[in-house]
Structure 1
Amino acid sequence: MGKTISGSRAPVRIAFELVSASTLPPGAAVALDEVDGLITARIGEGHMTPELRAEIEDLHRTVTQQERWVQTSPELDPHRLEQPAEGLGIAHVAWERVAAGVLPRGVLAAPVERDRMLVWLLHEDHASAQLCAEVSEYGRRIAGDGLWEQRWPTA
């Protein structure tokens, strides 16, 4: 497994950008770009509302600032996100659309985290099914193959 970015550096950032669909691969809802210390999800217009984009970015900031999930060094393989999942099953990360009534009033996203698992529940009126499927596929690669590691408390 790659070198883990240590606590001596600033926490890794996860950014979400809403972009024109023409800037993504044909038919894609999202494309991820990764460099050391930053992962950017470029999301095609119509696949996520601006309100959910802001909320999900804030929630991801909490996870990374607390270093509950850390990036292993992409410098060893800068194109690693473009490769298919190896199926190692180290951890599970997914986005799931849920009915508005599942979430508290006014909430558009909620993380459910356990040892080796992080599922983001997203308000179905604010994220497309295609987006959730594509991000979940990235999750199979990123968390499932150990490109990001969970630091779940052991005590």
Structure 2
Amino acid sequence: MPHPSAVYHLDLSGRIPPGQLIYVEDHPGGLADIYVHPFHVRAPLLWDLNWVTAHQVGYGLWCQNWTEPGRMQEPPEGLGVAASSWEFVPAGELPRDCHVFPIEEDGSCVWLVRSGYCTTEFLDEMNRKLDRIAGDGLWLQDWSEGLERARDGEPAMLAPLPASQACV
């Protein structure tokens, strides 16, 4: 069985429907493929997103709440389960060679995105997708499992700091 993961891909095969910049294929077992428009995102941002997301999903800090195929294509229902969003920050506000930095606390995750690495249109569409994914509880934040795995001697990657303790 594949390891749980959510992977970002530049869409070079035409999976994204016309008029959209992002297409998410969600699969049972904690798996998702996120296809992004190649003219709206720079590759270094995708590399960093994949690294951070592999940590979050691989360590169980975010887990899938599977329901049915095609659920990602439905509009947000406004359930307010969690809040997640992307926000641009000036390049000088992030460490060198860091293109995305998530700041999490219970019930929210704000992704600080280095300005110039995706378009405003892409950021806006990603925020609408996150309203569906996190806001409607299709993927859930669960720090308890990730912390337990770290205590059991798995590789020492830290759980995210609460926003009040983060220093950017």
Whether TM-score is above 0.5 comes out as yes
Q: Which residue, 75, 91, 98 being the options, matches 2:82?
A: 91
Contact 2:23 2:35 in 1 (8 A): yes
Query: Unmatched 5+ residue regions in structure 2?
Result: 145-168
Letter in 2 for 1:59: V
How is 1:2-21 mapped onto 2 (pairs within 5 angstroms)? Answer: 11-20=3-12
Aligned length: 144
Q: Which residue, 30, 36, 41 being the options, matches 1:48?
A: 41
Aligned to 2:147: none
RMSD: 1.9
TM-score (norm 2): 0.78
Supply the distance in 1 between the matched residues of 2:39 and 2:103 (Cα, whole angstroms): 25
- Which of structure 1's runs of 4+ aligned residues deviate more than 4 A? none
- Name the % identity: 30
Q: Which residue, 64, 88, 106 being the options, matches 2:97?
A: 106
Aligned to 2:18: 26
Supply the distance in 2 between the matched residues of 1:68 and 1:134 (Cα, whole angstroms): 24
Displacement of 1:117: 0.4
Displacement of 1:103: 0.8
Displacement of 1:152: 3.3
* Secondary structure at 1:89 match in 2: coil
Supply the distance in 1 between the matched residues of 2:96 and 2:142 (Cα, whole angstroms): 30
Deviates more, 1:109-118 or 1:24-33: 24-33
Aligned to 2:114: 123
Aligned to 1:144: 135
Aligned to 1:38: 31
Supply the distance in 1 between the matched residues of 2:9 and 2:45 (Cα, whole angstroms): 11
Letter in 2 for 1:111: P
